[in-house]
Structure 1
């Protein structure tokens, strides 16, 4: 699976969950390099998602940016196809936090 194919799956999932996101492309003359591929707002929380194939490498600048997002109180992930199911569960829990609580 290519990164573009994986990105499409992730974006479709986020749309179905009602998550606002923007696809960010960095590195051009007028944009900042190292910014995660998808910038999201999930239930009021900032989430940065760097998409990679199973063999894709994260640059030092991307690692730095993800760490800064976390230090600032946001969530940041390097998301690979092998981690997509766990990511889906995380997003579903953030979108509907009451789903993880059992009523008595």
Structure 2
């Protein structure tokens, strides 16, 4: 089984995000000009703040990344720790179902 680099997984996720309507995103770059602990991909999708921390399957977020994830969630954002583009697709399928139910409730009300 191929063990993809985190950078390859991130590139695949960004290619997928390009196919979505009403999706604005960017790759957060670490290093001396970035903010340490920020998830790899920041995204706004249909008005929802999403962030994706990309990890290889055997890896976990660092303590600082975990704190940042918690802070984003406490502010109302949604953060996913993902290992593949398939993980991201599953989250978007679930999110889209939720958005459709919300719109249906608005129409019926």
TM-score with structure 2 setting the length: 0.77
Q: Does 1:47 align with 2:50?
A: yes
Alpha-carbon shift at residue 46 of structure 1 (Å)? 0.8
Residue pairs, 1:1-104, within 5 angstroms: 1-18=4-21, 19-26=23-30, 28-81=31-84, 83-93=87-97, 97-98=99-100
Equivalent pairs counted in the alignment come to 101
Question: Over residues 42-101 of structure 1, what are the superposed CA-to-partner deviations in whole Å (9 max), with x where a residue is unaligned?
Answer: 11111111001101231000000011000000101111127344224135446xx22786
Once residues 42 and 16 of structure 2 are traced to their aligned partners in structure 1, the CA distance between those partners, rounded to angstroms, is 14
Q: 1:42 to 1:84 in 2, by over 3 A?
A: closer
Structure 2 unaligned segments of length 5 or more: list them: 105-109
TM-score, length basis structure 1? 0.80
- Report the RMSD for the aligned CA atoms in angstroms: 2.5
Instruction: Flag the structure with larger Rg.
Output: 2
